[in-house]
Amino acid sequence: MSANTAVAEKYRNNFLKEIEEQVEMGDWVKMCMQCGVCSGSCPTNFQSAWDHPPQELFMMIRAGKREEVLTSSSMWNCTSCYNCIVRCPRKIPITHIMHGLAEYAHRIGMAPKMQATRFFSGLFWKNATHTGRVNELKLSLGLYFKDGFVQGVKNGMAMQSVALGLVKAGRLNVLELFGGHKCKDQKGIHAMLAKAYEIERVRKAAKMAG
């Protein structure tokens, strides 16, 4: 049974409860009063990037539209600008819920497969936690080569002027490819994060069981 079918089975007919228990800040979804200020405050929604702006996602969760919500690319358009949070009259942590929904969809394997921000987000986290610090060069290259070697070279060429500018200004170091900045206690960091993942997994499973 996949991660998705397990939770889907457990929360049958109660998608709201699933979100409340499994998504960070998910218990706030029920408090939305559908004013739409979040949707009207979102910079990427101005560009019609969201098929379902936050207000709508909240309503869809209440209406039990599980498949549509979790497979949506909408929340991956969040730029973490926090405009929705500060304007929400109900003080709902919307940004965090968007991240939480994305994380959950990603976790149970329902998020859109080649969504660029999903890819970049994972890449960033792995890059940052691998040595404890971000390696900007590897991060960029990792993104350019996400669609294979040929596309990667093309992407790299397209960004060449940007990269060159940074190199000239001393803000991109080609030597970063070989090692680069890192924390000393990488082992400790890895052990600590592994423990954190385990605790979180156990807690979420307990909620599902309870």
Q: Among residues 183 and 205, whose Cβ is nearest to another protein?
A: 183
Residue 23: CB minimum distance to another protein, A: 10
CA distance 156 to 131: 24
Residue 31: CB minimum distance to another protein, A: 5
Residue 161: CB minimum distance to another protein, A: 6
The token pair at 189 is 């960091």
Q: Among residues 11 and 100, whose Cβ is nearest to another protein?
A: 100
Q: Among residues 171 and 210, whose Cβ is nearest to another protein?
A: 171
Q: Among residues 70 and 85, whose Cβ is nearest to another protein?
A: 85
Q: Among residues 6 and 33, whose Cβ is nearest to another protein?
A: 33
CA distance 106 to 70: 9
Residue 151: CB minimum distance to another protein, A: 14
Residue 9: CB minimum distance to another protein, A: 18
Q: For the chain, what is the HEC assignment?
A: CCHHHHHHHHCCCCHHHHHHHHCCCHHHHHHCCCCCCCHHHCHHHHCCCCCCCHHHHHHHHHCCCHHHHHCCCHHHHCCCCCHHHHHCCCCCCHHHHHHHHHHHHHHCCCCCCCCHHHHHHHHHHHHHHHHCCCCHHHHHHHHHHHHCHHHHHHHHHHCHHHHHHHHHCCCCCHHHHCCCCCCCCHHHHHHHHHHHHHHHHHHHHHHHHC
Residue 113: CB minimum distance to another protein, A: 13
Q: Among residues 8 and 29, whose Cβ is nearest to another protein?
A: 29
Q: Are residues 178 and 139 in contact, defined by beta-carbon separation less than 8 angstroms?
A: no
